[in-house]
Amino acid sequence: MFNLKNSIGEIRGIGPKKTSKFIRLNKFTIADLLYYFPRDYIIKDDSKKIKDLNENDVVSIVVEVATQCVSKRTYKGLTITKFLVSDDTGSIWVTIFNRSYISKQVKLGDDIRISGKVTRGSGSLEFTNPNIEFNNISREVSLITPVYSTTEGLTQADILKIQKEVIDKYSKEVKEFIPDDIRAEEKLCNIGFALENIHFPSSIKNLKLARYRLIFEEFFLLQLSLMKMKKHTLNEFIGKALINNEGIDSFISSLPFELTESQLKILDEIFLDLESTKSMNRLVQGDVGSGKTIVAIIALLKCIINNCQGAFMAPTEILAEQHFNIIESLLKPLDINVGLLTGKLKKSSKEELLQNIKNGDVQVVVGTHALIQENVVFKDLALVITDEQHRFGVRQRAILSNKGDNPHVLVMSATPIPRTLALILYGDLDISIIDQLPKGRKKIKTKAVSMENKYRVYDSIKKELDLGRQAYVVCPLVEESEAIDAQSVTEKVEELKIYFPKYEIGILHGKMNSAEKDEIMLRFKNNEIHILVATTVIEVGIDVPNSTIILIENAERFGLAQLHQLRGRVGRGSEQSYCFLLYKSKNKISEQRLKIMEETTDGFIISEKDLELRGPGDFFGIRQHGIMEFKIANVFKHIKILKKVQNRVELILKEDPLLTLEKYPALGSVIKDKLLNFDGI
């Protein structure tokens, strides 16, 4: 029986050799090829004339051969054939490699159709190795040919031929799985039509219909799968119910501050989860400085009181150590053993720590990625917390969870992202939001200042330092190279020394080893260093409440999210804090960004604006997120479609809260399948 999951080897025209090439493209089955969408299309639009051509245009035009072919051999043994073609607006060269036989077909004065990409040859525009039709050239306006990504040994022509075969033969075999009623309401074409027209569109209009359906489909299946995962976790993963609350209230009242209402509300949500046997899977989103750490610590405490272990994973060593110090200082007095596990631990102390984790003597383990290495074994892990989750993939989170018997999972993120995106990035999690800053925080005063007025900013820094406060100076990322960044930081320090002779200046950059970084951070915390000059390594989580002023150089180069994160290093105490955004030059977008930063400190508003302003992929550092690897959809470009999908999913959930999808068996089985090979995130 024919099956879409059959190997591509079955397809006529694909032998073992081509199969191996397709495997290199990650295409194994017929279904893979059906979903191997063109990366572009050549649109045969006869209205395009030679004078309209620009570099990189992919076009198909009818032209007249204007010169004879000239062929020559290069010393490397290549044959280059060249001829000129023209229309009534101009002429352009055609260059062909290693197909000298073509010169027999090219006849002066003939009309031919040239299809391909316009490139820049030696100075002028030309076609290099285009497709050429000599006889019976098609004259239709708007004939659309797909362009596929190729790999060595598989040419465009190869793939085109195979795809033609695949689509003709199999596209109609794919069973529709989006229910008719939903398709009708969402105006989605059927799957066969969509596959046919995404590969070989019969018109632009049909291409658009096909694309819309397939984008909708991709979001829809992912969103449903994530929701289903969430339901699955809720219903089947039995974790530990951590019921005992002894000592929690007195711990909370011993804190030097009162928890905000928002923190209390989220603690309630977390406690409710922890007290049930269903494993918690919760994301806490809270703006920088909203006080997520203490919430995490209280959750850890609850876990220990119930005789279980807790783990706390942070993305960087600096952050792990900072958390360790805070957690240890708060929990040690309660006779709780806290361990710190990072990559740099000496072998002997590491072995000892691992032993103590294994036998349960260490109750809370704080660490970096080192926590998810195989040799870390817990006695009874019941709660896993990851900080700044956007830096971790779902997979890493899962590995950590697997170290216990379905431990409760809490992820914390300071990147407030709009709900629409949160639903697709963290759709498998329940979401809690801390939407309130601790009392007494003053709004950080932010000003964009042109580079020429740098010294005025230095004066402001001096004023703060004279009051006993501390400052950050953030140097721009010059290059992707840490060595060059380090150099720019060093130069900056030299410059600052002249203006701040009285003050101690420290350096922090990615090229330093972690012992060096720690030492600097410790001295900064102890107010032995007054100005910390750094690259963006200080971006995540660092908490020194006495620093009240931050200067960010070349702020126009940073994205909103990064600026927001960096700015969050100040304003963490009760004093008025300041942020200066120094710019050299501004374009329209960077000007808008700087203005938004001046106007608001609310991370959610900033993230909404970020979504509007930035190009795809740059948003809030989630580029690394595996989830962005969509086949056709794009969470930034297609946000409207994503919203429609989410509304639709909500409707389905209303009717079918457990998402059994019994009403829609075909859809149900596609989702089940997807969950089995979940590689979307």
Instruction: Indicate which of Mg ion, ligand ADP, none lies near residue 376 (CB less than 5 to 8 Å, by partner kind).
Output: none
- DSSP code string of 102-124: HHHH--TT-EEEEEEEEEE-SSS
* Residue 450 Cβ vs ligand ADP, minimum distance, rounded to whole Å: 30
Taking the least distance from each CB to ligand ADP, the nearer of 259 and 338 is 259
Instruction: Indicate which of Mg ion, ligand ADP, none lies near residue 341 (CB less than 5 to 8 Å, by partner kind).
Output: none
Instruction: Indicate which of Mg ion, ligand ADP, none lies near residue 572 (CB less than 5 to 8 Å, by partner kind).
Output: ligand ADP
* Residue 8 Cβ vs Mg ion, minimum distance, rounded to whole Å: 48
* Residue 48 Cβ vs Mg ion, minimum distance, rounded to whole Å: 55
Taking the least distance from each CB to ligand ADP, the nearer of 23 and 252 is 252
Angle between helices 454-466 and 482-499 (to 10 degrees): 70
Query: What CA–CA distance (Å, rounded) separates 127 from 618?
Result: 34
Taking the least distance from each CB to ligand ADP, the nearer of 292 and 403 is 292
First-to-last C-alpha distance (Å) of the chain = 32
Instruction: Indicate which of ligand ADP, Mg ion, none lies near residue 263 (CB less than 5 to 8 Å, by partner kind).
Output: ligand ADP
Taking the least distance from each CB to Mg ion, the nearer of 225 and 263 is 263
* Residue 293 Cβ vs ligand ADP, minimum distance, rounded to whole Å: 3
Scanning the structure block, which residue is given the tokens 């360790």? 324
* Residue 601 Cβ vs ligand ADP, minimum distance, rounded to whole Å: 13
Instruction: Indicate which of ligand ADP, Mg ion, none lies near residue 57 (CB less than 5 to 8 Å, by partner kind).
Output: none
* Residue 287 Cβ vs ligand ADP, minimum distance, rounded to whole Å: 7
Instruction: Indicate which of Mg ion, ligand ADP, none lies near residue 393 (CB less than 5 to 8 Å, by partner kind).
Output: none
Instruction: Indicate which of ligand ADP, Mg ion, none lies near residue 259 (CB less than 5 to 8 Å, by partner kind).
Output: ligand ADP
Site for Mg ion, rule CB under 5 A? 541
Per-residue tokens: 418: 């709009």
Query: What CA–CA distance (Å, rounded) separates 654 from 38?
Result: 37
Instruction: Indicate which of Mg ion, ligand ADP, none lies near residue 386 (CB less than 5 to 8 Å, by partner kind).
Output: none
* Residue 55 Cβ vs Mg ion, minimum distance, rounded to whole Å: 47
Taking the least distance from each CB to Mg ion, the nearer of 476 and 541 is 541
Query: What CA–CA distance (Å, rounded) separates 108 from 553?
Result: 61
Give the residue at shortest CB distance from Mg ion.
Answer: 541
Site for ligand ADP, rule CB under 6 A? 257-260, 263, 286, 288-294, 414, 438, 541, 543, 545, 572
Of 601, 582, 578, the closest CA to residue 590 belongs to 582
Query: What CA–CA distance (Å, rounded) separates 645 from 217?
Result: 9
Query: What CA–CA distance (Å, rounded) separates 458 from 499?
Result: 8
Give the residue at shortest CB distance from ligand ADP.
Answer: 291
- DSSP code string of 298-346: HHHHHHHHTT-EEEEE-SSHHHHHHHHHHHHHHHGGGT--EEEE-TT--
**CA dihedral defined by 545, 551, 553, 559, rounded to 10 degrees?**
50
Starting at the edge strand found earlier in the chain, the sheet holding 364-367 runs 338-341, 364-367, 309-313, 381-386, 408-413, 281-286, 430-434
Residues 6+ apart with CB under 8 A from 362: 309, 337, 338, 339, 353, 356
* Residue 532 Cβ vs ligand ADP, minimum distance, rounded to whole Å: 17
